[in-house]
Structure 1
């Protein structure tokens, strides 16, 4: 299994980050990584992320604090 994040702009357009797409071997590592990187992603124009497992959507998440 491969876990990745899809990055989306406010209008829903998919954004490909300059550093490429990170791949993770488990969900916990993917979630830890987004916990460390979300502020930079938000600064780069990412508003929402979607966790994917082998391309299948697991869950979406806004990067804006509620």
Structure 2
């Protein structure tokens, strides 16, 4: 069964959760994996600016991807 809700979680350089109530770090739910991936592609710089070093993708609450480094491509 395909997940119906996709979410990102974020960690700092020490592996601790990075959370917040602002527009970028607030929990967001996406209807498709593609929507979640587009969003991270558009927001990774802002996430880094708030202390996130890595991101993990979850489908229906189960981790399915990551860690994804939030660094510019070389």
What's the offset of the Cα at 1:52?
A: 0.3
CA distance in 2, matches of 1:40, 1:47: 11
Deviation (angstroms), 1:58? 1.1
Large movers: runs of 4+ above 4 Å: none
The 2-side partners of 1:9 and 1:31 are apart by 20
Aligned to 1:4: 7
Q: CA deviation at 1:59?
A: 1.0
Q: How does 1:45-60 map to 2 (within 5 A)?
A: 45-60=51-66
Which one of 36, 39, 49 corresponds to residue 43 of structure 1? 49
Structure 1 gaps of 5+ residues are: none
Indicate the larger mover: 22-31 or 11-20: 11-20
d(CA) in 2 for partners of 1:44 and 1:15?
A: 8
CA displacement at 1:65 relative to structure 2? 2.8
**Which residue number corresponds to residue 71 of structure 2?**
64
Structure 2: segments with no counterpart, 5+ residues = none
Q: Give TM-score scaled by structure 2 length.
A: 0.83
Aligned residue pairs, count: 66
RMSD: 1.0
